[in-house]
């Protein structure tokens, strides 16, 4: 079964990581797989396995992610059985690909909580099938875009980073000898080293947010929430990622008097040591489908607090391993975080439940199998 995965650019976002994971896993399963991007390079381009055919449409990077010269011609020459479109730009082209390749199963995906462009909406009506990465996204497709339920399959994101001495699962196999790859790893050397670098002592409660600095991720709102946290508690907020809103957030942290507590850690190709060092994961996004950082937090045994948008509730067990706060309720968000500050024993008790939930719900082996079974049916 020939598979093309179409992605505009291999930046360091959650969708791009899923694209690489899927390409590596499909190829490892013996399926001829091409990972096709509009632009060359990208922060995670080095994580593509040698078994995957890597193809690029732009001979020179134009820095225009939407520009896909020769896309239909390239796909037609390859005669794929399946084209899986990942990300907003790729899905805008999905309908055109299905029109030109009627014998190919072109599969659109919905992995965003943002407003969809017209071409994206047209593709949803035109393609053979749609994969939504959350039940919330599937409901939105049915109610908001009148897509028949039988045209939609929900497959949650697969875990990319699974903690075991920094082990990163980019395919679908566990490392030999690892019985349970999702330990609570606060005492691991890599986690302790990260804490030391940020001057976080044994009693410091570390809040972690792993997300690109984009407007919808609402880092500025998260800083406003942090300003409401108890000043007499020993806590730090770590922001891992990079992007357009980072300079404004740096300035805001200084204005709020949080410069000593908020650490801007930049982009981490593998954030496993950050999860191993943290105590609580927080996310104040205004728009999400199924945020990877929350399921990665659960895999590392960490409780989470997040605004209740999109499929956020599907990332954890609400009220047990995570707390979903009504969007915009900054005071309620801060109160939920502060309640976890003083309950270290409770946080430790959450860890095994969160790990088990993550492994049962987001294990790569299960998700890859579901993709390939669906492709075979189509």
Q: Is 170 domain-assigned? A: no
Q: What is the pLDDT of residues 148-158, one digit of tens each?
A: 999 999 999 99
Q: Is 45 domain-assigned? A: yes
Q: Is 176 domain-assigned? A: no
Q: What is the pLDDT of residues 55-77, one digit of tens each?
A: 999 999 999 999 999 999 999 99
Residues 367 and 337 in one domain: no
Q: Domain span at residue 270?
A: 189-362
| pLDDT category of residue 29 using cuts at 50, 70 and 90 | very high
Residues 205 and 140 in one domain: no
Q: Is 163 domain-assigned? A: no
CATH of the domain at 102: 3.40.50.2000
Name every residue whose Cβ is closer than 8 Å to that of residue 146 and which is 6 or more positions away in sequence: none
Residues 95 and 10 in one domain: yes
Q: What's the predicted TM-score (pTM) here?
A: 0.86
Over residues 251-277, the mean pLDDT reads 95
Buried residues in 197-213 as b, exposed as e (16+ CB within 10 A):
eeebeeebbbbbbbbbb
Contacts 24+ apart (CB under 8 A), 98-105: 98/123, 98/126, 98/127, 98/128, 99/126, 100/72, 100/75, 100/76, 101/72, 101/75, 101/76, 104/75, 104/79, 104/80, 105/81, 105/129, 105/375, 105/378
Q: Is 238 domain-assigned? A: yes
Q: What is the pLDDT of residues 97-124, one digit of tens each?
A: 999 999 999 999 999 888 999 999 999 9
Please give the pLDDT value at position 112.
87
Please give the pLDDT value at position 163.
45
Please give the pLDDT value at position 374.
98
Distance (Å, whole) CA 378 – CA 376: 5
Residues 336 and 368 in one domain: no
Residues 144 and 196 in one domain: no
């Amino acid at each position: 079964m020939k598979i093309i995965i179409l992605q505009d650019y291999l930046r360091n976002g959650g969708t791009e990581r899923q694209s690489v994971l899927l390409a590596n896993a499909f190829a490892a399963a013996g399926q001829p797989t091409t990972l096709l991007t509009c632009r060359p390079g990208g922060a995670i381009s080095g994580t593509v396995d040698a078994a995957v055919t890597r193809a690029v449409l732009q001979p020179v990077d134009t820095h225009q992610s939407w520009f896909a010269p020769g896309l239909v011609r390239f796909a037609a020459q390859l005669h794929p059985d399946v084209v899986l479109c990942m990300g907003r730009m790729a899905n805008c082209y999905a309908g055109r690909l299905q029109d030109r390749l009627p014998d190919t199963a072109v599969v659109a995906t919905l992995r965003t909580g943002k407003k969809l462009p017209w071409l994206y909406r047209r593709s949803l009506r035109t393609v053979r099938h749609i994969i939504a990465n959350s039940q919330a996204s599937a409901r939105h497709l049915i109610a908001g875009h009148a897509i028949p339920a039988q045209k939609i399959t929900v497959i949650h994101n697969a875990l990319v980073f699974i903690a075991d001495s920094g082990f990163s699962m980019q395919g679908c196999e566990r490392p030999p000898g690892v019985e349970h790859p999702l330990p609570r790893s606060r005492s691991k050397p890599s986690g302790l080293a990260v804490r030391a670098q940020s001057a976080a002592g044994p009693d410091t409660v570390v809040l972690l947010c792993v997300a690109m600095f984009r407007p919808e991720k609402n880092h500025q709102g998260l800083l406003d929430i942090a300003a409401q946290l108890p000043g007499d508690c020993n806590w730090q907020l770590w922001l891992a990622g990079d992007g357009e809103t980072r300079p404004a957030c740096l300035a805001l942290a200084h204005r709020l008097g949080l410069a000593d507590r908020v650490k801007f850690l930049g982009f981490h190709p593998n954030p496993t040591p950050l999860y191993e060092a943290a105590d609580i994961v927080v996310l104040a996004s205004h728009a999400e489908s199924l945020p990877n950082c929350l399921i990665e937090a659960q895999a590392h045994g960490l409780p989470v607090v997040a605004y209740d948008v999109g499929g956020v509730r599907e990332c954890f067990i609400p009220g047990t391993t995570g707390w979903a706060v009504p969007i915009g309720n900054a005071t309620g968000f801060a109160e939920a975080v502060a309640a976890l500050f003083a309950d270290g024993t409770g946080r430790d008790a959450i860890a095994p439940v969160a790990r088990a939930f993550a492994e049962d719900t987001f294990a790569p082996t299960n998700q890859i199998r579901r993709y390939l079974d669906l492709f075979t049916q189509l």
